[in-house]
Copies of this chain bind each other. A is one copy, B any other.
Amino acid sequence: MSLNTPPAAYTPPLGRVTITDVARIAGVSVSTVSKVVNGRDGIAAATAEHVLGVVNDLGYETSIVASSLRRSHTGVIGVLVADFEPYSTELLKGISNAAEGTGYELLAYAGGNDGKRTDWERRSLSRLGGTLIDGAVVVAPTASMASGTGIPVVAIDPHSGAESVPTVDGDNVGGARAATELLVGLGHRRIAYLGGRDGLESSRLRHAGYLQALEAAGIPADAKLDRVGGYRADLSDAPAHELLRLPTGERPTAVFAANDLSALHVMEVARELGLRIPQDLSVVGFDDIPESTRSTPPLTTVTQPLQQMGAEALRILLALLAGSPVEEQHRRLPASLTVRESVARPGGEPL
């Protein structure tokens, strides 16, 4: 069959197989291959079959890059994070589960790990949007993403300030208050707070919950015990050392850290300084990442339904992509306290 005979000028594809390679080997035009691959009709059955055979032989796949440049949609949803750490990967698991069976593929992009850049979310969105991805879930953006692109966006754990995109978060105030109340109830009075990243609404709200609980208990807020850990282990190192090196009598008997990552680091610093947990220091975190059960002792923390939050964000994004109006702009999921062995009464008596 002459169709199967490669033309004289045939060059075996060395690197990536392109649509041109397929066309040349199949002996048809590029546009015919495109139509066959995309299932457009108006192609003779015999031609289609033959082309598909070549496609299969060569292992051709349309380049998402080239096609997205030309097309308006790609069937790919982006998940934009600063970094792949326990919090964002937990959301990712939830998003991934929820994406199953929707026909969309997932592309997670970490564009913030170069350090100094603060507007990674707008930057990433701009770099990928409009072409590569049809929509995006942005995790913990610290800046507005307005004017970034025209694609639909949903934010998880949004930044402070007005934002026009739908958001998903947990009950930050309630969770923080519950965590602080637990410590107060145990008899702690010097309860330090290791805050989150500036610019994030969750950071502001957890701080507010902490202060509310102190006030309700009649405990005056002490600026010396109120630090910022930036939600990260490295940024928590200095403030944790400062807090735990305060002279006895001033040193906190408990630390409520704004997320688990910084709480776990507080525990490390405590161990380093010879403080026993929970006898000498109680520690509470926020998020309940899987790692929170791996420490010794396991960490008491505020449980957020992270995977569910991710799934919810994807659900909203899919609705947006389908053109359905979004019923609620802010979806808040409940948080609950999970008590493990990192807390005790000030003296060290167990619960």
Chain A residues with CB under 8 Å of chain B are 14-17, 59-66, 68-69, 83-86, 89-90, 92-93, 95-96, 99-101, 103, 105-111, 113-115, 122-123, 126-132, 147-150, 289-291, 293-294, 298
- Chain B residues contacting A68 (CB-CB under 8 Å) are 65
A137–B93 Cα gap in the complex (Å)? Answer: 19
- Let me know if B93 and A150 touch, CB within 8 A: no
- Chain B residues contacting A150 (CB-CB under 8 Å) are 14-16
Distance in angstroms from A99 CB to nearest chain B CB is 6
Interface centre among A14, A86, A106 (most CB of B within 10 A): A106
* A105 partner, pick from B15, B89, B109, beta carbons under 8 A: B109
**Which of chain B's residues has its CB closest to A68's CB?**
B65
- Chain B residues contacting A89 (CB-CB under 8 Å) are 84, 89-90, 92-93
Given known A92-B89, A107-B108, A130-B15, contact A69–B65 (CB-CB < 8 A): yes
- Let me know if B110 and A105 touch, CB within 8 A: yes
A127–B93 Cα gap in the complex (Å)? Answer: 23
Interface pairs (6), CB distance under 8 Å:
A16-B148, A16-B150, A61-B126, A66-B131, A84-B89, A89-B90
- Let me know if A113 and B127 touch, CB within 8 A: no
* A63 partner, pick from B61, B115, B131, B291, beta carbons under 8 A: B131
